[in-house]
């Protein structure tokens, strides 16, 4: 595996690859790899001729300077793991390479970026996400880019940006990877104490309770939300929304998304689950 840190070197490597008519998959990350990242890399490896994993802790999407400062960083370990998974290139640019002096452009998606995570983390959060993802897609020009369902709103925003800007890369979304006890994999989990780690299970338990209520026939979104809330101490939000537009739902008549955010100790965690109503049996 090769580590590349500049845009010209990245494009030179890709030029040779494209000359051989080989496909490229991109896995955008902020590092501190876990099994969720590994699943994305494996999927890209299975489906594309070559895989680029970007490792860049994007400062523009953080609304809390302490969160940026404390975000886990482990490039040496990440490089070993990526290499073992067959990744071809680790693209790990410094901040000055992505945001050089005089950088003045921002990419934003209206509406969808302003609710839930956008409301909690501020208008700059998804603008930061969109800007860096747009840059990465332009630099690498992948046939497909791979994201995890855990960041469902981010995925929806990126998909809208790709559609609106006619970016030709396909966006592939893989299921959330969970610990055996249900906790969604996150780079931030390493900052939890053993007690906080147990407390963090409230997020997945709330989502699973909502899923069970819907599977049992409940269709009223507020009643399903109440079932989930019973498992949460003090969430920042718990919402049942349309999975594409993120507009709130009153009735769960089609697949819906339940999304939650909560602070556990010093760590802010998010999780979500698709709620799939089972059609009522047809009378004969």
Q: Classify the C-alpha dihedral 267-110-144-53 as positive or negative.
A: negative
**What is the distance, to the nearest Å, from the Cα of residue 240 to the centroid of all Cα atoms in its chain?**
18
For the stretch 85-115, pLDDT in tens is: 999 999 999 999 999 999 999 999 999 999 9
8 A C-beta contact, residue 39 and residue 174: yes
For the stretch 154-178, pLDDT in tens is: 999 999 999 999 999 999 999 999 9
The whole-number average pLDDT for the span 129-140 is 98
For residue 277, give Cα distances in angstroms to 168, 213, 243. Answer: 33, 10, 14
Tokens 């000359």, residue located: 19
Ligand-binding annotation for 41, yes or no, is no
How far, in Å, CA of 132 to CA of 153, rounded? 16
Under the banding of pLDDT at 50, 70 and 90, the label for residue 280 is low
- Catalytic amino acids? 37
How far, in Å, CA of 164 to CA of 107, rounded? 11
Ligand-binding annotation for 149, yes or no, is yes
Ligand-binding annotation for 111, yes or no, is no
Ligand-binding annotation for 177, yes or no, is yes
Which domains, and CATH codes, for the chain? 2-174 (3.40.50.620), 187-275 (3.30.1300.10)
For the question of whether the overall pTM of this predicted structure is more than 0.85, the answer is yes
Ligand-binding annotation for 61, yes or no, is yes
């Amino acid at each position: 595996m090769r580590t590349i840190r500049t845009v010209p070197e990245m494009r030179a490597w890709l030029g040779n690859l494209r000359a051989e008519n080989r496909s490229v998959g991109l896995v955008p990350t902020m590092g501190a790899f876990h099994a969720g990242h590994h699943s994305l890399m494996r999927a890209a490896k299975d489906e594309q001729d070559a895989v680029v994993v970007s490792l860049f802790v994007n400062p523009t999407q953080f609304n809390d300077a302490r969160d940026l400062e404390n975000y886990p960083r482990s490039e040496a370990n990440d490089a070993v793991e990526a290499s073992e998974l067959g990744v071809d290139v680790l693209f790990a640019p410094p901040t000055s390479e992505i945001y050089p002096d005089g950088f003045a452009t921002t990419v934003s998606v209206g509406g969808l970026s302003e609710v839930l995570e956008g409301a909690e983390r501020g208008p700059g959060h998804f603008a930061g996400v969109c800007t860096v993802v747009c840059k990465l897609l332009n630099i690498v020009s992948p046939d497909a880019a791979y994201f995890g369902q855990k960041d469902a709103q981010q995925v929806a925003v990126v998909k809208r940006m790709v559609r609106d800007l006619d970016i030709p890369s396909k966006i592939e979304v893989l299921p959330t990877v969970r610990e055996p006890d249900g906790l969604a994999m996150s780079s931030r989990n390493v900052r939890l104490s053993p007690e906080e780690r147990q407390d963090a299970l409230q997020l997945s338990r709330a989502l699973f309770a909502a899923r069970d209520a819907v599977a049992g026939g409940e269709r009223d979104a507020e009643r399903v939300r109440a079932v989930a809330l019973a498992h949460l101490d003090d969430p920042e939000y718990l919402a049942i929304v349309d999975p594409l537009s993120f507009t709130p739902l009153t009735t769960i008549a089609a697949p819906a998304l339940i999304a939650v955010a909560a602070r556990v100790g010093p760590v802010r965690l998010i999780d979500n689950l698709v709620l799939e109503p089972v059609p009522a049996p047809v009378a004969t």
